[in-house]
Structure 1
Amino acid sequence: MEIRRIEVFLAVAEERSFTRAAERLRVAQSAVSTAVRVLERELGATLFARTTQRVELTEAGRALLPEAVRILAAVEAAREVVTQAGQGLRGRLRLGILYGLTPGRVREALAAFRAEFPLVEMWLTAPGTGGSLDHLERLRDGSLELAVVITHGSVPGIRRQVLATDEVVLACTPDHPLAGRDGVDLTEVVEEPFIEFPPGWGVRNAVDQAFVSAGVQQRRITVQMNDLSTILDLVRLRLGVAFVPRSIADQTADLRFLRIRTNRPTYQIAIATAVDRPLGPVARQFLRIAGAVSPDAPGRAR
């Protein structure tokens, strides 16, 4: 079984497309199709269910995926060790980030890492619609070694290095009826039209748990959006109010931000790794540098 065929399989599995996999690998689509056919013949199983609309993993393909990730990670680690001995650290940093909520500590660590290890490639991955849950899943299947995630405590199978803690506040326009108040209780705002992150996103989870603690089972969510800057724009357009990180208030002068008086939603931002998968030399060096950078102050996570 050739390593190149494993690389092709993984590219198709992650892209869910032979065409996009070929573009990513910079080869002809026919070469991708041939490599997959040969691999399927070697393994005696069909790995992908192909239709005119999309490509999906079969049961055999899903079984192979974590093993393929481990094989390629081992090969990459071996190459890194050999290369580092003669030329300095090389390889690839595979890090999940959080758009505008990635703390300054991580951004500073990236700059310091680049200065110390200029030969390492940086592959930074933003979450999909599932937010931090996407990153946690990628950590478990090995497609990411490190990820910045928003959590509310321990996560099974995941090791966390907490970087910062932030609270959630309510954003509204300066002319909103609530704008003149210093704070609100969750029970007072249930009838407001809310612009919220989708389920699974860390801020949304913190808010959902706070409402449950306040005895509120339902609220009026009129818009769901996974981009913080767009959420703030929608608040400006008076489409509703929104729960956002308190740290955003210091950067946004044209909106009002109200603290939650009781059952205050909070969350932690952490760098996460998979417990059952040893880190390669590149990831270990990044964690070392991130640990040496001054921690973000509480309430300053971005």
Structure 2
Amino acid sequence: MDLRKLEHFVAVAEERNFTRAAARLHIVQSGISSSIKALERELGIPLFLRTTQHVELTPAGHALLVQARRILADVADAHQAIARIRGGLIGTLNLGILYGYSPTGIATHLARFRAGHPQVAIQLRGTGAHDIVDHAQRLHNGDLDLAFLLVTRPLPGLVLYPIGTETVLLACHPDHPLATHDTIRLADLAAETTIDFPPTWGVRSAVDAAYAAVGLERQVRFEMNDLSTILDLVRHGLGVAFVPGFLTCEAPGVRFLRVRELPAEFEVALAAPSSRPLSPVSGAFLDTVLRPM
């Protein structure tokens, strides 16, 4: 029983899906399927119940999962111990971030990674005018190793590792007529001046999809790729804006309302290119992010 087979087994067990497990490990699905079959032959017992929709662990699979996780964790600890003796990881992490946005403990993840790998240089790249498109292209062409994204849908060529969720709220001036409500409808905004992000930004995509779903159109009068500027415009009564919900703790002088037609949450994810394996530095940062705090 080799470690590679155990790693493949744990991935399938956690993902409950061979395709997602293969994407997570950056290998082809046939490779992970062959690995699981070989492990089952070696042990002489099925580890998964397979259907067309998903896979479930057998009793033997549940028993193995506990031990496999322990073994892999011990091996990872051993590698880290040797790395520390050798002086730790050395290299550069090119990480895409979102301007003005630090959800789900992103700063904490960076601090934890820095504490464990002090010799790694970290290059932070903010978004350009097209947010997700910019970061996705940089991941594809190798300019970025990993990137934090706000996503409302799968993105071709990228593996997305969810790290949390966020809400979308409407920001308005405290004296705005709608400010007396806690929840509104999109139809209530028909005559409002809207301040918004560029069309491909995660929040803008979520809002545009909500408008399309109810058959409404809107006019965006101000378009800006900076959160602080958007909130400043709202404070001056120049319009209303759809913004990430984390701002409720960071934006005095602004009223935040829920919008009934908007999804309750959208996903915050760390994205990696599916076309190439992660470097040791990138893999270490991903492990840091996915490891419980």
Instruction: Give the alignment's TM-score, normalised by structure 1.
Output: 0.67
Alignment of 1:19-58 (within 5 A): none
Residue 238 of structure 1 aligns to which amino acid in structure 2?
A: G
TM-fit CA distance, 1:168: 1.0
Q: Secondary structure at the match of 1:276?
A: coil
What residue number does 2:227 align with? 228
Deviation by residue 1:177-211 (Cα, 9 ceiling, x = unmatched): 11101211111202200000011110000000010
Alignment of 1:109-148 (within 5 A): 109-148=109-148
What residue number does 2:171 align with? 171
Deviation by residue 1:69-116 (Cα, 9 ceiling, x = unmatched): xxxxxxxxxxxxxx9994321000111001222324221111111111
Q: Which structure 1 residue ranges, 5 or more long, are not aligned? A: 1-82, 295-302
What residue number does 2:289 align with? 290
TM-fit CA distance, 1:176: 0.6
Matched, 1:258 2:257: yes
Q: Secondary structure at the match of 1:88?
A: coil
Q: Give me the whole-angstrom Cα distance separating, in 1, the residues matched to 2:153 and 2:145.
A: 20
Deviation by residue 1:221-269 (Cα, 9 ceiling, x = unmatched): 1100001111000001111110011221133232111101234464211
Residue 145 of structure 2 aligns to which amino acid in structure 1?
A: E
Q: Secondary structure at the match of 1:130?
A: coil
Q: Label 1:265 to 1:212 Cα distance change in 2 as closer, same or farther (>3 A).
A: farther
TM-fit CA distance, 1:143: 0.9
Q: Label 1:257 to 1:181 Cα distance change in 2 as closer, same or farther (>3 A).
A: same
Alignment RMSD = 1.7
What residue number does 2:267 align with? 268
What residue number does 1:41 align with? none
1:166·1:266 contact (CA, 8 Å) conserved in 2? yes
1:191·1:220 contact (CA, 8 Å) conserved in 2? no
Residue 182 of structure 1 aligns to which amino acid in structure 2?
A: D
Q: Give me the whole-angstrom Cα distance separating, in 2, the residues matched to 1:196 and 1:265.
A: 19
Matched, 1:189 2:208: no
Alignment of 1:71-110 (within 5 A): 86-110=86-110
Deviation by residue 1:146-198 (Cα, 9 ceiling, x = unmatched): 00011113211110111111121111111111110121111120220000001
Residue 281 of structure 1 aligns to which amino acid in structure 2?
A: P
Residue 273 of structure 2 aligns to which amino acid in structure 1?
A: A
2:231·2:251 contact (CA, 8 Å) conserved in 1? no
Q: Which structure 2 residue ranges, 5 or more long, are not aligned? A: 1-82
Question: Matched residue pairs, number?
Answer: 211
Q: Give me the whole-angstrom Cα distance separating, in 1, the residues matched to 2:255 and 2:87.
A: 53
Q: Secondary structure at the match of 1:270?
A: strand
What residue number does 2:160 align with? 160
Residue 95 of structure 1 aligns to which amino acid in structure 2?
A: L
Q: Secondary structure at the match of 1:282?
A: helix
1:105·1:290 contact (CA, 8 Å) conserved in 2? no
Q: Give me the whole-angstrom Cα distance separating, in 1, the residues matched to 2:191 and 2:269.
A: 33
Q: Label 1:109 to 1:264 Cα distance change in 2 as closer, same or farther (>3 A).
A: closer
2:146·2:272 contact (CA, 8 Å) conserved in 1? yes
Q: Give me the whole-angstrom Cα distance separating, in 2, the residues matched to 1:264 and 1:228.
A: 20
Q: Give me the whole-angstrom Cα distance separating, in 2, the residues matched to 1:255 and 1:168.
A: 15
Residue 137 of structure 2 aligns to which amino acid in structure 1?
A: E
2:104·2:164 contact (CA, 8 Å) conserved in 1? no
What residue number does 2:247 align with? 248
Q: Give me the whole-angstrom Cα distance separating, in 1, the residues matched to 2:263 and 2:88.
A: 48
Residue 155 of structure 1 aligns to which amino acid in structure 2?
A: L
Between the two proteins, what is the percent identity of the paired residues? 43
Deviation by residue 1:37-59 (Cα, 9 ceiling, x = unmatched): xxxxxxxxxxxxxxxxxxxxxxx
Residue 267 of structure 2 aligns to which amino acid in structure 1?
A: Q
Instruction: Give the alignment's TM-score, normalised by structure 2.
Output: 0.69
